[in-house]
Structure 1
Amino acid sequence: MRILIHGINYAPELTGIGKYTGEMAEWLAQQGHDVHVLTALPYYPEWMVHEGYQGKKWHTETLNNVKVHRVPLYVPKKVSSASRIIHEFSFLLSTIPFWIKAIFSKKFDVVFCIAPPFHLAFFPWIYKSLRGSVWINHVQDLQVDAAKDLGMIRNKTLLKAMFGLERFFLLRGNRVSTISMGMQDKILKKGVAVEKMLFFPNWVDSEVVFPLPKEESLRLEMGFSAADKIVLYSGNLGEKQGLDAVIKVASRFKTDKTVKFVICGSGGGKDKLVQLAKQHQLSNVFFFPLQPYEKLSALLAMADLHLVLQKSSAADLVMPSKLTGILAAGGCALVTADQGTTLYDVMHDFQMGILVAPEHDDELERGIRRGLFEDTTVFKQHARDYAKRYLEKEHILQKFEQDVEALFLSNKIT
C-alpha cells in the first residue's frame, strides 16, 4: 500500500505522539509499504525547533525508508491557549503546497490522520473526496474535550464551533481509531457508528524496554546513591498532568534526606515547576532533560516509584503514553485516576500499581509513602506480565496492518 501519515509530531521527537508515529511509520516501511509522512519540523516537548532543523523550511528527507515531508510552523516561546491555536493553524497552512501537489500526483491508497490537532483532518477530507482514498482519523487525545474540561478555552461559541467541526471530520472518515476504550466510548457518543471504530492502542517494545537491576540504572550517572529512594516523573511537563502537586508533596519529605524527587522532561509547564521548587526551597527535587530512548530502561530502573499523574478533568480524554514504558520496565507506578475511568479499571483489575484520587495532595503523599516503604514486588511483576501480554509492539502493529489492508481491499472493490 502507498500510505500517507499526517500529523504534527514525528521522530526524532523522543516522547508523546511523535514517538509512536515514528515507530509506526518505520514498522510499516519494514513490511514493504511505501510510507510517506507529512509533518512539522521537530519541536516537542521542548517547544523549540530541534538542532539540525532550525532555519529549515519545506523539505523532504528519508528516515529509515520513510519519506518525511516537513513543513515550517510557528513555535511559541510561551505556550498558552491562544499561542497554541496559532501554532496549530500555522502548521495547517504550511501543508497547503504539499496537498495541492498530492491531489495531482500518484494516489495515496491510505491517509492516516492523527489528532491532535483535530483540524488537520480538513485536507484529508478534501483528498478523500477528490481521490477516493481510504481515510482514517486516529485520535490520540480528545483535544476539544480536554480544552473545555481543563478550562483552557472558555468561549462557548468557539467551543461549539470546534465540537461541530470535530464531529464533522470524525463522521466523514472511513474509520476512527483511538488508543483506549474510554476514549472510544466518548467518540461513539459524538455520533460515530460502532462499526467504524478501530481499537489501536499505544505499545511498547519489550525487547527494548525491559527490567534492569538498580546497579545498571542511571543512578550514579545522575548523582544518586543506591540508598536513595527515588520518585520519578518522566515525560511531558504540561498542564494536563497537574505536576504542581509533586512539588507541594515533596516539601512534606524535606526531613527524610533519602527521598529524592526526580523530574525528567520538557514542556510548557517546566519553568513554573522550577520556580515553585525554588519558592519552597526544596533540595530534594531534581530536574533533568529527557533521556535518549536507548537509555529509557536504565532511566526507569533507577526509580523506586513512578508517577503517572493527570488532572481529574483529563480522565479518559488522554491516555498517558509514559505508562507503557513503566509497565514494560517492571516498575511500580503510582497513578492518579478516578473510579470508572479506563485507566483506573486497567490498573485496578490487573493490580499493577498504586491508585490515588487525582488532585488530592494527602492521598498522593500516602501513596508515595506506600510505594517507597512497602513491598511492591507483586505490582512490578504484574506490570511486566501485562506489558508482554497486551502492549507488545509487534502484535499491535500487525493487527493494525491487517485492519488497514482489509479496509483498503474493500475500498478497491467498491
Structure 2
Amino acid sequence: MSDTAKKRILFITPYYPPEIGAPQSRISELAKKLKDRGHEVFILCAVPNYPSGVIPKEYRGKFLIKQKINGIPVYRTYIFAAPNKGFLKRLLTHLSFAAASLLAFAKIRREINAEISIVESPPLFMAFTAIAMKLIFGVPYIFNVSDVWPDSAVELGMLKNKFLIKCASFLEAAAYKFSAGVACVTRGIVDNIRRKNVEFRRVHFLPNGVDCSFFSHEKLASGGYDADISEFQAKFGLKDKFIVLYSGTIGISQNLGFLIDIAEKSADKEKIHFLIVGDGAEREKLEEKVRSLGLKNVSFERLIPKAKMPALISLAGACVVSLLDIAVFRGALPSKMYEYMAMKKPILMFAAGECVELIEKARAGLASYPGDTAAALKNLAALAEDNKASAEMGENAFKFVSENFSRDVICSKWEKTLEKL
C-alpha cells in the first residue's frame, strides 16, 4: 500500500493478551503486522479475565487503563468478569463490555482519531457498540465474525427462547447492514452471511493464520525450544510415548468426550498417551469421566503460556482437531490447526465440512466423522505406526500453511480490503 493509504485502525475486542486463546493471538498478531507496515493501530479491550473469570489485582477498580504492548496503545476497560460457565453469566459479561467499550471510546476518541474500527464478534453484543460508534461518532466499522451468532447458540441448544432468538437475529442483521464490511474467518461463514441478503461485495474471506517465525520448525531443529521441551518431558513423564495432543478451549463445541472414548478403546496401547491442554466449561466433566473409567493414558494440563506452545506441540506425534457436527461448524477452521501444521505435525481430525476439506487438500492428516469410533481408531493407528507417512503429512502441512495461512499472507489480504473501504 502507498503511504497515503495508511490508516488509523481501532480494534475493539473483549479478548487480548496476556490472555491466551485463538482470538487473542489472531487479533494481537494482525494488529502488530499492520503496525509494522506503517498503519497506526489502537486496541480497545477488556481487562484480563479469560477464562478464569478473575481480574488480576492491578486491573481492579479502574474503568480505563492505558498500556503499550509491542508499541501499540492498548486501552483496557471494565467487564463483568465471571467464569466461562452458565449462559446468564456469559450474557452479563458480554453486555457489560459492550456498554463499557462504548463509554471508553467516547473518552478516547479524540486522542486516537480512528478512521475505521474492526469489531470482534462473537460476542454479538459488540454490534451495539459498533453501530452506536458509527451513528453517534461517524466511525465506520468492519464486523469481524469468527463464529456466527445466534446460529451457533441455537444449534448448540444454548439459546431456545424464540423471542430472544428473534431479537438476536435482528441485532445480527443490523450489525451487517450498518457495517462498511464483514470479515469472515472461514468460507462457511462467508456463505452463511451472504445467504442473509448481505451484499456479496461487502463480505470478505479473511481467515485466521499462524506466525511461522514463532511456530518455527527451523527453530526446533536448531535447539531453540530445547529448554522448554526438557521441562515438559520432566513434567509429563512421556518421553517415549506417542503423544496425541489436544490444546485449546475445552467446551461443548469441541466434542472432547469422543476423544476420551478413543482413549478408552486405546487403553491397551502402551505406546499411546492422550494429553489435553486447556480450560473451559467441559473440563471438569471430562476429568470426572477419565477418573470414572480409570484411564491411565489420559493427562490434563492447564493453559500453557503462548511462548511455550511451540515446544509443547513439538512433543506430539499427532494433534487433534475435534468439532461437533452441526451446520455452523461445517464451516469452521479451528485456529490451533494452523499452529500444528506450522510445526509439521499430522492432524488427527474428528469433524465434518470445511476443515476436513482443507486437511485433505493439504494431505496433512487423517479425518473421520465425529462419533465414528472405528474410523478414528484406524486413523490413530496409522499415524502411530507409520512414522514415514506421518512425517510426510507433517511436511505437507507446513508447506500448505506457510503458503496460504501465514500472518504475512493474511495481513496483505486485510490491507487490500481496507484499501477498498
Deviating more after overlay: 309-318 vs 80-89: 309-318
Structure 1's 283 and 61: CA in aligned 2 closer, same or farther, altered over 3 A?
A: same
State the distance in 1 between where 2:378 and 2:239 align.
23
119, 127, 133: which one pairs with 1:121? Answer: 127
State the match for 1:412 in structure 2.
none
Cα shift readout 1:21-55 (whole Å, capped 9, x = no counterpart) = 11122222223332221111122233433575355
Secondary structure, counterpart of 1:255 in structure 2: coil
Q: Structure 1 residues 51, 253: CA separation in 2 closer, same or farther (over 3 Å shift)?
A: farther
Q: CA deviation at 1:229?
A: 1.2
Which residue identity lines up with residue 327 of structure 1 in the other structure?
M
5+ residue gaps, structure 1, are: 408-414
Q: How does 1:290-309 map to 2 (within 5 A)?
A: 290-309=303-322
Question: 2: distance between equivalents of 1:201 and 1:247?
Answer: 30
Aligned to 2:402: 388
Q: Counterpart of 1:403 in structure 2: which amino acid?
A: T
- TM-score after normalising by structure 2: 0.90
Using the size of structure 1 for normalisation, the TM-score is 0.91
**Corresponding residue for residue 410 of structure 1:** none
CA contact (8 A) 2:331 2:355 kept: no
Contact 1:99 1:123 survives alignment (8 Å)? no
**Pairs within 5 Å for 1:153-168:** 153-168=159-174
Structure 2 CA distance for aligned equivalents of residues 85 and 362 of structure 1: 39
Letter in 2 for 1:19: S
Comparing 156-165 with 302-311, greater Cα deviation is found at: 156-165
Query: Match for 2:391 among 372, 377, 398?
Result: 377
Matched residue, 2:365: 353
Q: Which residue of 2 aligns with 1:90?
A: 96
- Deviation for aligned residue 1:123: 2.3
Query: Counterpart in 1 of 2:254?
Result: 241
**Distance verdict in 2 for CA 1:142–1:318, change over 3 Å:** farther
Distance 2:121 2:212 in 1: 26
Assess if the C-alpha contact under 8 Å between 1:180 and 1:319 holds in 2: yes
Tell me which amino acid in the other structure corresponds to 1:125. Answer: I
1:242 shift after superposition: 0.7
> Aligned partners of 1:292, 1:228: CA distance in 2, in Å?
23
- State which of 259, 263, 279 in structure 1 corresponds to 2:292: 279
Q: CA shift at 1:234, angstroms?
A: 0.7
Question: Are the structure 2 counterparts of residues 102 and 298 from structure 1 closer, same or farther at C-alpha, using a change threshold of 3 Å?
Answer: closer
- Of residues 331, 343, 351, the one that matches 2:355 is 343
Q: Distance in 2 between matches of 1:316 and 1:52?
A: 41
**Residues 1:400 and 2:414 aligned together:** yes
> For structure 2, which runs of at least 5 residues remain unmatched after alignment?
1-6
What is the CA distance between 1:92 and its match in structure 2? 1.4
Tell me the distance in 2 between the aligned counterparts of 1:258 and 1:345.
30
The answer to whether the 8 Å contact 1:305/1:332 transfers is yes
Q: Is 1:181–2:187 an aligned residue pair?
A: yes
Q: Are residues 256 and 389 of structure 1, via their aligned partners in 2, closer, same or farther at CA, if it must alter by over 3 Å?
A: same
- Aligned residue among 16, 33, 40 for 1:34: 40
Deviations 1:304-323 (A, max 9, x none): 11110000015235421100
- The structural deviation recorded for 1:225 is 4.2
- Mean alpha-carbon deviation: is it higher for 323-332 or for 273-282? 273-282
Is residue 146–residue 317 contact of structure 1 (8 Å, CA) maintained in 2? no
- The superposition leaves residues 358-401 of structure 1 with CA deviations (integer Å, 9 ceiling, x where unpaired) of 13333333322222123322211110110111011112112312
How many Å separate the matches in 1 of 2:73 and 2:91?
A: 27
Indicate if the aligned counterparts of 1:210 and 1:330 stay in contact, CA closer than 8 A: no
Please say which of residues 207-216 and 150-159 is displaced more in the overlay. Answer: 207-216
AA of the residue aligned to 1:182: G
Give the Cα separation in 2 of the matches to 1:343 and 1:146: 17
Instruction: Give the direction of change, closer, same or farther, for the CA distance of 1:225–1:85 in structure 2 (3 Å limit).
Output: closer
Identity, % of aligned positions:
25
Q: Output the CA distance in 2 between the equivalents of 1:261 and 1:89.
A: 37
The size of the alignment, in residue pairs, is 405
Deviation at 1:59, TM superposition (A): 1.5
Asked if the contact 2:82–2:90 (Cα under 8 Å) also holds between the matched residues in 1, the reply is yes
The alpha carbon displacement at 1:280 in A equals 1.1
Q: CA deviation at 1:240?
A: 0.7
- State whether residues 52 and 82 of structure 2, in contact with CA within 8 Å, keep that contact through their aligned partners in structure 1: no
Contact preservation (8 Å) 1:167, 1:191: no
Write the distance in 1 (CA, Å) between the matches of 2:112 and 2:59. Answer: 28
Residue 10 of structure 2 contacts residue 42 of structure 2 at CA under 8 Å; is this kept in 1? yes
The secondary structure found in structure 2 opposite 1:163 is helix
- Spell out, residue by residue over 1:116-147, the C-alpha distance to the aligned partner (whole angstroms, 9 max, x if none): 11221222222222443331111011131111
- Correspondence for 1:202 among 208, 222, 235: 208
| Contact kept in structure 1, 2:51 and 2:84, CA below 8 Å | no
SS of residue matched to 2:134: helix
Match 1:70 to one of 68, 76, 91? 76
Query: How many angstroms does 1:111 deviate by?
Result: 1.0
Counterpart contact for 1:237–1:270, Cα < 8 Å:
yes
Look up the SS of the partner of 2:183 in the other structure.
strand
1:160 aligns to what SS in structure 2?
A: helix
Superposed counterparts of 1:99-114, under 5 Å: 99-102=105-108, 107-114=113-120
Q: Does 1:18 align with 2:24?
A: yes
Taking the aligned partners of 1:23 and 1:361, their CA distance within structure 2 comes to 37
1:211-250 aligned within 5 A: 211=217, 212=220, 216=226, 217=229, 220-250=233-263
